[in-house]
Amino acid sequence: MPYTTLIKVSSKGLITLPKKIRSRLGISEGDYLTITSDDDRIIFRKAKIDIDYENPDDVWKEYSARRLTDD
């Protein structure tokens, strides 16, 4: 069943995802989300990112960002 709640956008454009939604979708600190706009909707999805532990953080983050935009 969908969960609907009202949130406020800050002056810097930031929002807080309610805990109930984060828990329901398994979203934790440090997770990445993709965001898509479709007419009057904003769609967030939890991103699946493969971490390359052999390379420094910035290398895999750049690689993962490219993979997200290629989808």
Residue 71 in this model has a pLDDT that exceeds 60 = no
Q: What pLDDT is stored for residue 36 in this prediction?
A: 92
pLDDT given for residue 30 in this prediction: 84
Residue 30 located in a structural domain: yes
Global confidence as pTM: 0.61
CA atoms of 29 and 24, how far apart (whole Å): 14
Is residue 29 within 8 A of residue 63, CB to CB? The reply is no
Residue 65 lies in a domain: yes
10-67 pLDDT, tens digit per residue, is 999 999 999 999 999 999 998 889 899 999 999 999 887 766 566 666 666 676 676 6
> Does 24 reside within a domain?
yes
Distances (CA, A) of 44 to 21, 39, 54: 11, 14, 29
Q: How far apart are CA 59 and CA 21, in angstroms?
A: 30
Question: Containing domain of residue 36, as a range?
Answer: 19-70
